[in-house]
Amino acid sequence: MKRGGKNVILKQLEKQLTFKGYSTKTKKAYSGHVGRFVEFTNRTPHSLVKEDVEKYIYYLLNEQENSHAYVNQALSSIKFYYEYILKNGKVLYDLPRAKKEKKLPNILSQNEVLRILDSVHNIKHKSILFLTYSAGLRVGEVVRLKVEDIDSDRMLIHVK
């Protein structure tokens, strides 16, 4: 497929995702997935068939060893493309999704946590780490905290 053809596909996809109200991050992810799929198949969009998608999903899982979540997002992107751009969504209706992996989280030992906290000397950074760890906050939640979100009298943090 020509480079210009891929750009047209991605512009159509971006436009349709915008109409549907998808977030900027989702639009970027879907565009990346569809772009890689189109490059993988190296065929014109209207000549793509279900087997092309199956080969691609198999490639992502077995050869690339991507996570099931990544592959499922790729499949969602391709399904969106088939349904809203190619107007042929029923073709992929019964494609199975990869089963969600059950991974246990990595947990730091008490000594590892103490070593991390002791290695930081900047008081601001140390406070952020203590707050993150003790309250179980995500990075995005910590960076959006404001002074007024902390109620030191009642020992509460309001996470938005």
Where do the domains of the chain lie?
3-92, 110-157
Torsion of the alpha carbons at 51, 95, 88 and 32, rounded to the nearest 10? -80
| pLDDT-based confidence at residue 82 (cuts at 50, 70, 90) | confident
Confidence class of residue 9 from pLDDT cuts 50, 70 and 90?
confident
Alpha-carbon Rg for the chain, nearest whole angstrom, is 22
Best CA proximity match to 20, nearest among 85, 67, 78: 85
pLDDT at 91: 67
pTM of the model: 0.62
Class of domain 3-92: mainly alpha
Give the three-state DSSP class for 131. helix
**Residues 97 and 53: beta-carbon distance below 8 Å:** no
Helix residue ranges per DSSP H, the chain: 3-19, 24-41, 50-58, 68-80, 110-119, 123-135, 139-143
Confidence at residue 64, expressed as pLDDT on a 0 to 100 scale:
92
Residue spans of alpha helices (H) in 20-109: 24-41, 50-58, 68-80
